[in-house]
């Protein structure tokens, strides 16, 4: 069972503060449900776990199988919403050192990423690291025109064509893009690449449970049925229009209550390094959705206990405009017992017989207590385990919370007009036709 328990005990936000938003949330809920299937509204993710395209899903499974058979490496080319979701899920659910362990144990190609930056060093090193290994590419871009993935695709397409010849290269290129628009769609048609469709009414940062995320996730050997099942349970659970009984909506409201109390920064905290990219995905989801019209909570992230030795000082005693949302995982499927040492020169015998997960848990409890007493409110989200179901559930929980939170704030959580500003300048400086004025 994949559930999430919301604990507001350390947040300073009480039931009475939350319930003041009942009518507002009720209205947002109804409007979202009414428009969930409207193609103009970017709400396709709302019913996605029950209404996904089963044929496309089967196609994903088959392509993943082929890639798993004929490739040592899958290069996933994409940026922002066309990259972070897949990486978040893959890193949360696979071996911490996935790409380093022997293939017999990994039972999947290495998953490497490109097109998410413009560093020549990164691309050259990636090419060197791949060397002679057999590879396939999944290029993902909804618009089909984003510069970073477009450049990376041009480079890797050439590598594939030189290595395998044009015909075989075509069979190793998988394109995930719009059903009809964009340069990538046009190119795929001409070259007859296998393509996957990003539904019109699902924006990049809400698209992890579409082919955008699912193809690379399936190639990594993750059970995409279970992932969707977890999301489906969340879809049912968080469809209650009564705020009192809907933890997803309560989280959305609690954030806004804290924001009104001048808590302007939310830090997502994890105690599991495998969740690092999940936090990156969450930062993009909330940052790009809410940061508009000079409003919005600034989403940040830390990996504890690592960052207790860097950001911990600031969180404890710096400006008091921060709150934390802590992801706590109840059950680990891996543990270590600390042994007794005869000499005890390191003074650790007081922990002998304890599990490392227990020490991690106490670190979390101690930190929550310290930060709360330092006037940094803490929201705690308890997850049962790190499984496909739980991650699917958490993805849906945050997507819906983000949509509701943004609407409470009074902005449109589904557009990203600000992202265009840097692009216009960059294109002018690069003398792209049409941008020279």
d(CA 249, CA 398) in angstroms, rounded, equals: 10
Judging by beta carbons within 10 Å of its beta carbon (0-12, 13-18, 19+), is residue 353 exposed, middle or buried?
exposed
CA distance 100 to 200: 37
Considering only 13, 43, 67, 79, the residue that binds ligand PA5 (CB under 6 A) is 79
Tokens for 111? 């998953």
Nearer to ligand PA5, 212 or 254 (CB): 212
CB of 210 to ligand PA5, least distance (A): 11
Mask for 301-340, x = binds ligand PA5 (CB under 6 A): ----------------------------------------
Angle at alpha carbon of residue 39, lines to 138 and 153, rounded to 5°: 20
In the list 288, 290, 389, 399, the residue contacting ligand PA5 (rule: CB under 6 A) is 288
81 binds ligand PA5 (CB under 6 A): yes
Q: What are the CA-CA distances from residue 323 to residues 266, 299, 372 (Å)?
A: 5, 10, 9
Q: Which of 146, 201, 360, 367 binds ligand PA5 (CB under 6 A)?
A: 146
Is residue 82 at the binding interface for ligand PA5, with CB under 6 A as the rule?
A: yes
176 vs 246 by CB, closer to ligand PA5: 176
Give the residue, chosen from 44, 49, 85, 203, that forms a contact with ligand PA5 under the rule CB under 6 A: 203
In the bound complex, what is the minimum distance in angstroms from residue 181's beta carbon to ligand PA5? Answer: 10
Contacts of residue 327, Cβ cutoff 8 Å, sequence gap at least 6: 268, 269, 270, 271, 272, 275, 381, 383, 394
Q: Which residue is at the shortest CB distance from ligand PA5?
A: 204
Which of 12, 85, 204, 230 touches ligand PA5 (CB under 6 A)? 204
**Tokens (6 digits) for 119:** 């560093």
Between 142 and 274, whose beta carbon lies closer to ligand PA5?
A: 142
Rounded distance, CA 4 to CA 8, Å? 13
Provide the b/e sequence for 141-156 (b: ≥16 CB within 10 Å): bbbbebbbbbebbebb
Based on the residue annotation, tell me whether 107 is a catalytic residue of this protein.
no
Among 29, 87, 157, 205, binds ligand PA5 (CB under 6 A): 205
Can residue 371 be called a binding residue for ligand PA5 (CB under 6 A)? no
Shorter beta-carbon distance to ligand PA5: residue 141 or 256: 141
For the chain, the distance separating the N- and C-terminal CA atoms, rounded to the nearest angstrom, is 57
CA-wise closest residue to 305 among 355, 372, 370, 363: 363
> Does residue 143 bind ligand PA5 (CB under 6 A)?
yes
Beta strand 378-385 pairing with 4-7: antiparallel
* 142 near ligand PA5, judged by CB under 6 A: yes
Answer yes or no: 423 catalytic. Answer: yes
Strand partners, 303: 270
For the question of residue 288 being annotated catalytic, the response is yes
Known catalytic residues?
288, 309, 423
- Please give the residue ranges that form the binding site for ligand PA5 (CB under 6 A): 79-82, 141-143, 146, 149, 203-205, 288, 416, 419
């Amino acid at each position: 069972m994949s559930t999430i328990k919301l604990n507001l005990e350390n947040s300073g936000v009480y039931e009475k503060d939350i319930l003041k938003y009942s009518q507002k949330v009720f209205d947002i809920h109804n409007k979202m449900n009414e428009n969930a299937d409207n193609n103009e509204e970017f709400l396709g993710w709302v019913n996605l776990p029950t209404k996904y395209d089963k044929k496309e899903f089967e196609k994903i499974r088959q392509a993943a199988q082929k890639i798993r058979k004929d490739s040592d490496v899958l290069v996933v080319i994409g940026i922002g919403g066309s990259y972070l979701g897949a990486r978040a899920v893959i890193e949360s659910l696979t071996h911490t050192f996935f790409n380093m362990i022997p293939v017999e144990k990994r039972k999947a190609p290495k998953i490497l990423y490109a097109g998410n930056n413009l560093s020549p060093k990164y691309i050259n090193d990636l090419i060197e690291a791949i060397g002679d290994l057999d590879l396939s590419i999944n290029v993902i871009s909804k618009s089909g025109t984003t510069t970073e993935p477009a450049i990376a695709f041009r480079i890797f397409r050439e590598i594939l064509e030189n290595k395998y010849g044009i015909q075989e290269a075509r069979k190793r290129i998988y394109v995930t893009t719009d059903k009809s628009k964009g340069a990538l769609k046009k190119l795929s048609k001409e070259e007859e690449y296998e393509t996957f469709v990003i539904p019109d009414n699902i924006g990049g940062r809400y698209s992890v449970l579409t082919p955008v995320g699912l193809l690379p996730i399936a190639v990594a050997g993750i059970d995409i049925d279970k992932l969707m099942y977890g999301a489906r349970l969340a879809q049912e659970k968080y469809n209650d229009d009564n705020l009192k009984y809907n933890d997803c909506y309560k989280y959305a409201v609690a954030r806004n209550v804290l924001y009104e109390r001048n808590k302007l920064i939310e830090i997502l905290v994890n105690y599991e390094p495998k969740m690092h990219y999940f936090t990156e995905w969450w930062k993009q989801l909330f940052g790009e959705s809410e940061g508009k019209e000079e409003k919005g909570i600034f989403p940040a992230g830390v990996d504890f206990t690592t960052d207790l030795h860097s950001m911990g000082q600031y969180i404890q005693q710096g400006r008091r405009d921060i709150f934390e949302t802590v992801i706590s995982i109840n059950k680990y499927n891996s543990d270590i017992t600390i042994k007794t040492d005869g000499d005890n020169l390191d003074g650790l015998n007081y922990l002998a017989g304890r599990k490392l997960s227990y020490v991690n848990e106490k670190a979390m409890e101690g930190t929550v207590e310290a930060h709360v007493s330092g006037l940094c409110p803490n929201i705690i989200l308890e997850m049962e385990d790190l499984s496909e179901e739980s991650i699917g559930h958490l993805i849906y929980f945050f997507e819906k919370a983000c949509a509701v939170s943004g609407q409470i704030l009074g902005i449109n959580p589904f557009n990203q007009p600000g992202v265009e500003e840097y692009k216009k300048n960059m294109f002018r400086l690069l003398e792209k036709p049409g941008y020279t004025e």
